Structures are given as C-alpha cells and as structure tokens.
Structure 1
Amino acid sequence: MQTDYSADDIAAATSLQFFTFIYVSITTFWTYDYVCSLHEEWRFLLDSHWTKVKGLYIVTRYLPFLLLATNMYLSFIPNETPSKCRVLDNICSGFGILSAVCSEGFFVLRTCALWNNNRILLAAVLVSVLTCVGVSIGITFTTTAPATYAISAIPGITGCYQSSTSLRIFIPFLLLSAFELGLMTLTLIRAIQHWRTTPSRLYVVLVKHNIFYYTCGFLFSVANIFTSLLLHYSYHAILHDFQFMILAILATRMHRHLWQMKRQTHGSDALMQVPMSDMSPAECTA
C-alpha cells in the first residue's frame, strides 16, 4: 500500500478538504439565514399579490438550495469518476448562472423603475443582460467540456477538481462586474438628478439598496477574477457559489423590506406611483 504521497497530491487533497469546509459553512449560513427570516418569508408569500416578480422571488430564494445540495453531493460522495464530476460541475454551473441572473433581475427592474422604464434604457439593459448571459454560458460550458477532472490520490478524501483549467473562466465575472458597475452608475446619476426633488422614503431606500447590492456584487466579482486567475486545484472556484448565495440573500431580503415599507406607507408615498414591491411594469416612457 502506498503511504508516501507527492507534494502535489497533498496540496490537491488539502484544497478538496478546504473546499468541503467552505461549502459546509455556506450551507450552514444559508440555512441559518432562512430559519431566521422564516416568519417574514411566509408572511410575504401568503400576503403579497401573485405577480411575475413574486415568481422571480421564489426562484431566487429557493434555487440556491439545489445549488448547495449538488455541491454537497459532489463534495461528500466518494468514488466519483471524471465523467460524473463533469456532469455535476456543469449542473452546479447552470444553477449558479441562473441564480445570478434571477438576483440581478430584481435590480435591473429597480434601476429601470428609477428611470421611469425608459424604453431606450430598457432595451440597452436587456441587450447587455442577454449578451452577458450568452457569453457566460458559452465560456462556462466550453471550458468545462474539455477540462480534465481528478480525484484525490489519498484515500478518504472525497470530491474532485479540475486538474487543468482555462484562464477564460474569469471572463463571466469580468462581464458581471462591468454590468453591475454600469447599473450602479445609472443609479447614481438618477439619484443625483432627483435627490432633492424626490423626498420619498421608498425612493431613498431603493437607491441605497441598489448601491449596496451593486457594490457587494462588484467586489465579489473582482475577488472571483483574481481567485480564478491566481489559484489552483479547488481554490480557484472557492468563491464562485458564495457570491451567488450572498447576491440571492441580498436580493430577496431587500425585496421583502421594500414590500414591507410599501405596506406601511398606505399609499401616501410618492413612489407608490411605481409599484416597486410587486415590480409590475409601469408604462414605458420614451
């Protein structure tokens, strides 16, 4: 029986153990957040009107459970084959992209609402979203398809990782950071234009939510760019799904907060002309 392992084997095994620890921590954090907000969750689900955005909320809120379950399965089930690892990794990538799109969808709608659903802006943002999603899907799946997957040579270490990775994997996060920076700029421009003339509490909260969300998303994207480029073994993907978890938590919590504020205003707020809590599309203006 082999008892001596190379430094590369030990480094790979250490990365897999660290990866598993991170996912257990993320799963614990997500479960804790869900349990703590369960009463708000069900009050929103039972009392709010059924709209397309409520459907978006449900997908955004519960899709991470599937993402975490798949990653936990990948991390703990032993004797994976490279083909099985590739399939599970592609499933995780698909869930991650869909989760990010849903989370961003809330704030795309919010940004467009700040601009009174201007048709030109709406078209530009839609084209940007479709371009980013299309390029991200293409790069993600064309990168993982030819990638070589490996398992640990040390018995008892579960999980697998890409033994050969492409530098192109950072591009989706680069596109996401540029997209969020653009939306943050649009929000700031609108806030500067109307800060004094729109004293609405909902308007102020909406702007603060947007800026905070975009800042978090931008910083996470930049961190993922560096980890994708500089780290090896399982470390290079250590923050990928963590970013999707945080964005989903922020998007759903901020949506519930805005819904609660709208209920408290009882129609007296100026922003009530734009039904932000349900995100029903208002009339577009040229």
Structure 2
Amino acid sequence: MVITVPATVPIESFQRLRIETYTDVAAAALLVYDYLLTFNVEKSLIWPSRWNIMKVLFLLTRYLPFVDVTLVLFYQLKTNISVETCRATYFPAGWFIVLGIMVAEIILTIRTWAIWGRSKRIGIILGVSALVAIIPTLYIEKVFLDSLVFSPYPSPATPGCLLTAGNPIIAASFVIVILFETLVLTLTLIKGVQHYRIASGRGFVSVLYRDGVVFYIYLFGISVVNLIVIVAAPRDLANLLAIFQRVMHSLLSARVLMNLREANQREYALAGMQSSPLQHLSFSQSRSSEEDRLSFRRNLDGTVIDIS
C-alpha cells in the first residue's frame, strides 16, 4: 500500500502543509528557548565533568536536534526547491530524527536500569527490548524513506517540498516507541512505589523517580497523539508532530541529566550543613532514605551518570 496525492494539489493541501510548517517552527522556537533557559546549568554542571558515556549521550541529545530541525526548516521554507534537493535534505533529516529519539530513549533506559540497582535481570530485559525496538525501527525508516516520491509544485514560488507518495509503514515505528516507553514507565513506577514506601519524597533519588515518571508520561502521550495523527489525519498532516516529538525527546532527556546533577549538588551542600554544629536540626534523613540515596549514587556514578 502506498500513500499518494494527485499531481494537482488542492488548496486544502497547501493549507495543511503550512500548518505543519508552523508547528515545526514552533518546535524549533521551543528548542532554542529551552537551550537558552538551561545553558548556564549545562555550562556549570555538565561541561566541567569527566568524559564518560553519559556525557557523550547528553551532548548528542542536546545538540543533534539543531541539525535535523535546521534541515527540516530548510526544505519547508525554501522556495524554488528541486526534487533532488528535497530528497537530499529529507533523507538525512529523517535519519537524524530517528537517531535523536533513540539517543533520548537510551538515556532514559539507562536511568531506569540505575534505579533498579543495575540488576542483571532488568538489564537483560531492557537490553533485549531495546534491540527488539531498534532493529525493526531502522528497517521501517529505510523502507519509508526509500518509498518517498517528491514532485515539483505548480508554482516555483511555493515554499517547501511536495511529497506525493510514501509507504504508511512509518506508523509501525511509533507503535514500537509506544510499547517500549510503556515498558520503561512500568518498571519506573514499580520501583518508584517501593522507594516511596521507605523514603522521603525529596532529594536526589526522588528527582530520579519524579523525572522518570513525569517525563515518560509526557513522551508517551506525544507518541500516542503522533500515531493517531499519522493513522487518522489527512495524509498532508502525517508529519505534523514528528519534529515536535523529536524536540521533546531531546529536551526531556537532557533535563533528566541536568536535574540529577542539580539535585546532587544540593545534597552535597546539605551534607556540608549537616557536618556543622547545627546538625541536630531537621537536616538529617532517615536511615533507609540515606542508604537508598547512596545505593543509587553508586549505581549512577561513573557508569550511568558521572555526578562527581
């Protein structure tokens, strides 16, 4: 089955394509706004840290969206754009979007593994699930991109690329994302309930759970809405939320790491206060909460997120 549009594009299609462009511009504005809002946090907490896998993943999830968002806006806003140029920009943009979402999911998956104490069983479940999700997603993306057909607009003054055919298999990739996010959210909720039964609702570990649950609910909701748009909306709006979903994966996964560092810094400052003569005041934590925090710190430090 192939999605097709007629060679003569009705005015409704132009209007829908403009809506998609406006949505992508709004997503780009959100990306820039959040970057400026959190730049000082990144500069003070991320840049001075030691290089490890999580720092590399952070920089990828932080800066890759500027590449694919730029490519998308280029082919959507440029006038008199050739079919060849459309393909030359659309294809790498598609792969960058997939790569960016995968990087964000890897960050959140590692965070989930950490809250389970780097359990071998949970590690196997997450690792196998990630492979089961990644391999077909890459195949689906290749099939989808290879199926795309572009045509010139009737008027060269019309901005953007006219996509006239594409395989609807791309919807399956969002189903995979939704299933994987459901698994990770479920594991986070299970461990979070166990944590809140024995520990207070503040501090480093609570930030780990809070961000995991709240952010995954956001991402899950966006993925579901995106799937509904692809399946039910007019074909001209199939990519309506693609860039928005990509940007939100970047913003939320980056904030997970920055929030952890901020919480860690606050707890070290609090520890300094506890060592003072005023330590008999209400700065102390329960034994279970402190042991929980130290356990997670060991699981995160050096392997998952360098918080030193």
Would you call these one fold, judging by a TM-score over 0.5? Answer: yes
Taking a change above 3 Å as real, the CA distance of residues 82 and 279 of structure 1, as seen in their structure-2 partners, is farther
Tell me what 1:214 maps to: 216
Tell me what 2:82 maps to: 81
Report the TM-score, using the length of structure 2 for normalisation. Answer: 0.83
| Counterpart residue type for residue 87 of structure 2 | R
Tell me what 1:280 maps to: 302
Structure 2 unaligned residues grouped into runs of 5+:
1-6, 272-289
Taking a change above 3 Å as real, the CA distance of residues 248 and 254 of structure 1, as seen in their structure-2 partners, is same
- Confirm whether residue 139 of structure 1 aligns to residue 161 of structure 2: no
Give the CA deviation at 1:155. Answer: 4.3
Taking a change above 3 Å as real, the CA distance of residues 151 and 17 of structure 1, as seen in their structure-2 partners, is farther
- Please tell me whether Structure 1 or Structure 2 has the larger radius of gyration of its CA atoms: 2
Check conservation: 1:202, 1:261, Cα contact below 8 A: yes
Check conservation: 2:147, 2:167, Cα contact below 8 A: no
Count residues with an aligned counterpart. 277
Check conservation: 1:111, 1:187, Cα contact below 8 A: yes
Please give the secondary structure, in 2, of the residue aligned with 1:164.
Answer: strand
| Counterpart residue type for residue 12 of structure 1 | S
Greater displacement, 194-203 / 142-151: 194-203
- Confirm whether residue 32 of structure 1 aligns to residue 54 of structure 2: no
Report the TM-score, using the length of structure 1 for normalisation. Answer: 0.88
Give the CA deviation at 1:233. Answer: 4.4
User: 2:177, 2:298 → 1: CA distance?
Assistant: 24
User: 2:298, 2:107 → 1: CA distance?
Assistant: 10
User: 1:279, 1:9 → 2: CA distance?
Assistant: 57
Give the CA deviation at 1:99. Answer: 0.9
Please give the secondary structure, in 1, of the residue aligned with 2:197.
Answer: coil
Tell me what 2:127 maps to: 126
Matches within 5 A, 1:43-54: 43-54=44-55
CA deviation map 1:146-184 (0-9, x unaligned): 222234324421111422232211111111111111111
CA deviation map 1:8-30 (0-9, x unaligned): 43123222322222222222221
Give the CA deviation at 1:262. Answer: 0.6
Check conservation: 1:54, 1:278, Cα contact below 8 A: no
Give the CA deviation at 1:7. Answer: 8.1
Taking a change above 3 Å as real, the CA distance of residues 156 and 276 of structure 1, as seen in their structure-2 partners, is farther
Give the CA deviation at 1:51. Answer: 1.8
* Identity %, equivalent residues: 22
Tell me what 2:240 maps to: 238
